[in-house]
Chains A and B, each alone.
Chain A
Amino acid sequence: MTSADTTAEPATGAKAARRGSAQQKLLAFASLIALVIVFSIASPNFFQVSNIMAILQAASVNGVLAIAVTLIIITGGIDLSIGTLMTFCAVMTGVVLTWLGAPLILGVVTAIATGMLSGLASGTFVAKMKIPPFIATLGMMLILKGLSLIVTGTRPIYFNDTPGFDLISRGSLIGAVIPGFPVPNGVLILFIVAGVVAWILSRTVLGRYTFALGSNEEAVRLSGVNADAWKMAIYAVSGAIVGIAGLLIASRLNSAQPALGLGYELEAIAAVVIGGTSLSGGRGTILGTLIGALIMAVLTNGLRVLSVAPEWQTVVTGAIIIVAVYADQLRRRDPS
């Protein structure tokens, strides 16, 4: 997956950065494999096709959210609104499909457009109004949470009248082509999103500016580039990806649950940092984030399959996040 091989700073120390980023991914990937091996040895029920599919599917919503917030984090920002925005996108899809009876494709467009508009709003607050991303998206998080409840009247919207809606996440196109390999569509969508965003980051102007804004925003401004516009564009793209996560969760639950969403942003951010993206901006990869989301899913599932006490599951997950980021710090301190 070389297209995901996005380097940190295009201008300075590109070679070292590329080596560092490769090492980081190797480390994250090695941790993922190690976890899988440990769990497989510990329980014969872990490494089974159905359980692997369960893990992949568990990674799909969080993975797509994590990819969306990776873009923002690379610019040196943060987005706390992704969890409740995901829900709001699901709700708007429900409004269009169930209440208005529109065809499925319009629901898909609505989710993505809602995400994009909300991202554009966040981007405007951050870039034009100079509100720190943490505050701007904290505000958006609450606004969107409230809007979801208001629009739905606090009742879930079901998709029973839209045949095929649940197949967005649950069906298996791959399974239809290759029998016996029933990868759910939600997982396929995760990998497609990852591939496309990795391509955007490594091969397009938007990607270049994403990194440039994160490593030295002032330099971008001084070089005559409309930094604000690019930043807004990045937030809009990120929002659109959150819209896809909204579709995935709505499809999986066959409903838009207006009370859901709070807390999902932190899990996504955890996946991003486990994947080696720096919260100070300018550095990060989609492949890393993907691995981070898989590590989270493997860990949660594995501890449950091993019947570890639920209280300890959360302690272990927290500890792993700290260890992962510390390992990353150690590697970067190493001058070689």
Chain B
Amino acid sequence: MFTRRHFTTAATALALTLGATAAKAQDGELYIPLISKGFQHQFWQAVNQGAEQAAEELGVRVTFEGPDNESQVDKQMDMLAAALANNPAAIGFAALDSQAAIPLLRQAQDAGVAVIAFDSGVDSDIPVATAATDNVAAAALAADKMAELIGGSGQVAVVAHDQTSRTGVDRRDGFVDQIEEAYPDIEIVAIEYGGGDQLESTEITRALLAAHPDLAGIFGTNEGSAIGVVNGVRESGAEDIVIVGYDSGQAQIDAIRDGVMAGAITQNPVGIGYETVKAAVAAARGEEVPADIDTGFYWYDQTNIDDPEIAAVLYQ
């Protein structure tokens, strides 16, 4: 019978064990905070997942936080400052505005805390390594696929997520430059910005379809934008519009399976998180770290969506 004494003993034992674990965590484990651009989107959750995976394998403690949306540069600075105050072994940082972060990063450097940039680079030599997707090359691949799918000529439009962040600019320019250089018969008739908001991107798509009746294809530059494009095309009943997306998420995966979306570029978000933590641990232990860690990207469509290589980097 489970008596009160048993219960007390068990509780005490549990408390002691927990206490011991906590003490050990404080003494031995390296603490590595990751300051990301967000945490609510599935993409960031996947980065977090990779970071936790690496943390478990390497026996370090990782925290993951980011502001509500990608315009809150100031909030991100507060998070970075708070992380520095906690005496981290190293810091992972995905800059919303790399210039704005330099004073704090310098402070980290002076304190001997290694900074690993992830997702997008920082315009400075402070980070010892950068783990990111080559967004320009990835968007150029999207442009090649778009050109192939619409037959090398016609009108296309871009629904981008924003016009100031590194990823927003790189993906837009990577796509636009590739089209302009390699496909003279393709005209980019519009570039609109929906903030990655699905509803906003839906309205944009409907306006684009109204404004350009001959539109052949639309490129959505992140998950929210791409899903908005799918929604807008579905609602308007337009046919034969080639949609090329970016990243994954359940809705985008479904759209590709249904054939509404032709295909999309996927980054390797789990890999970004994993490589960031791995590089941070190496740097904290004084080991050599490669300056550029290309985490890779892939094109996926109906034909290869179930390949193990692709399925591993898609997030639901």
Residues of A in contact with B (beta carbons under 8 Å apart): 43, 45-46, 48, 50-51, 54, 57-58, 61, 149, 154-156, 158, 160, 170, 184, 249, 252-255, 257-260, 262, 300-301, 304-307, 310-311
Q: Which of B40, B197, B206, B212 contacts A54 (CB 8 A)?
A: B206
Q: Could you name 7 residue pairs across A and B whose Cβ atoms are closer than 8 Å? A: A50-B210, A54-B236, A156-B42, A259-B40, A301-B207, A307-B189, A310-B163
In the complex, are the beta carbons of A58 and B45 less than 8 A apart? no
Known pairs A252-B235, A310-B163. 9 more at Cβ < 8 A? A50-B236, A54-B207, A57-B235, A58-B206, A154-B40, A170-B235, A252-B199, A254-B251, A301-B207
- A301-B207, A305-B207 in contact; A310/B192 too (CB < 8 A)? yes
Q: Which residues of B contact A259 (CB under 8 A)?
A: 40-41, 68
In the complex, are the beta carbons of B163 and A158 less than 8 A apart? no
How many chain B residues sit at the interface, stated as a range, is: 35 or more
Task: Output the residue of A54, A58, A149, A258 with the most chain B CB within 10 A.
Answer: A54
In the complex, are the beta carbons of A306 and B211 less than 8 A apart? yes
Q: Which residues of A contact B213 (CB under 8 A)?
A: 45
Counting residue pairs across A and B whose Cβ atoms lie within 8 Å, the total is 90
In the complex, are the beta carbons of B203 and A48 less than 8 A apart? no
Q: Which residues of B contact A57 (CB under 8 A)?
A: 206, 235
In angstroms, Cα B192 to Cα A155, docked, is 26
Q: Which of B189, B199, B206, B235 contacts A260 (CB 8 A)?
A: B199
In angstroms, Cα B300 to Cα A262, docked, is 32
In the complex, are the beta carbons of A304 and B192 less than 8 A apart? yes
- A61-B199, A170-B235, A310-B192 in contact; A50/B209 too (CB < 8 A)? yes
Q: Which residues of A contact B40 (CB under 8 A)?
A: 149, 154, 258-259
Rounded to whole Å, the gap between the CB of A137 and the closest CB of chain B is 18
Rounded to whole Å, the gap between the CB of B247 and the closest CB of chain A is 13
Q: Which residues of A contact B199 (CB under 8 A)?
A: 61, 249, 252-253, 260
In the complex, are the beta carbons of A46 and B210 less than 8 A apart? yes
Q: What are the 10 closest A-B residue pairs judged by CB atoms, nearest first? A: A304-B207, A51-B210, A54-B206, A259-B40, A305-B211, A58-B203, A310-B193, A301-B207, A154-B40, A45-B210
Residues of B in contact with A (beta carbons under 8 Å apart): 39-42, 45, 68-69, 163, 189-193, 197-199, 202-204, 206-213, 227, 231, 234-237, 249-251, 254, 316
Q: Which of A155, A156, A252 contacts B202 (CB 8 A)?
A: A252
Q: Which of A154, A184, A304 contacts B39 (CB 8 A)?
A: A154
Chain A: which residue is nearest B41 at the CB level? A259
In angstroms, Cα B199 to Cα A252, docked, is 8
Chain A: which residue is nearest B191 at the CB level? A310
Rounded to whole Å, the gap between the CB of A296 and the closest CB of chain B is 11
Q: Which residues of B contact A262 (CB under 8 A)?
A: 68-69
In the complex, are the beta carbons of A257 and B198 less than 8 A apart? yes
Rounded to whole Å, the gap between the CB of B162 and the closest CB of chain A is 10
In angstroms, Cα B69 to Cα A3, docked, is 42
In angstroms, Cα B41 to Cα A300, docked, is 26
Chain A: which residue is nearest B316 at the CB level? A155
Rounded to whole Å, the gap between the CB of B62 and the closest CB of chain A is 17
In angstroms, Cα B208 to Cα A46, docked, is 10
Q: Which residues of A contact B203 (CB under 8 A)?
A: 54, 58, 300-301, 304
In angstroms, Cα B159 to Cα A304, docked, is 12
In the complex, are the beta carbons of A43 and B251 less than 8 A apart? no
In angstroms, Cα B207 to Cα A58, docked, is 10
Chain A: which residue is nearest B224 at the CB level? A257
Q: Which residues of A contact B202 (CB under 8 A)?
A: 252-253
Q: Which residues of B contact A58 (CB under 8 A)?
A: 203, 206
Rounded to whole Å, the gap between the CB of A116 and the closest CB of chain B is 23
Rounded to whole Å, the gap between the CB of B224 and the closest CB of chain A is 8
Chain B: which residue is nearest A169 at the CB level? B235
In the complex, are the beta carbons of B208 and A304 less than 8 A apart? yes
In angstroms, Cα B231 to Cα A307, docked, is 21
In angstroms, Cα B207 to Cα A57, docked, is 12
- A61-B199, A253-B199, A260-B199 in contact; A154/B45 too (CB < 8 A)? yes
In angstroms, Cα B316 to Cα A154, docked, is 12
Q: Which residues of B contact A249 (CB under 8 A)?
A: 199
Q: Which residues of A contact B204 (CB under 8 A)?
A: 304
Q: Which residues of B contact A43 (CB under 8 A)?
A: 211
Chain A: which residue is nearest B162 at the CB level? A310
Q: Which residues of A contact B189 (CB under 8 A)?
A: 307
Chain B: which residue is nearest A44 at the CB level? B213
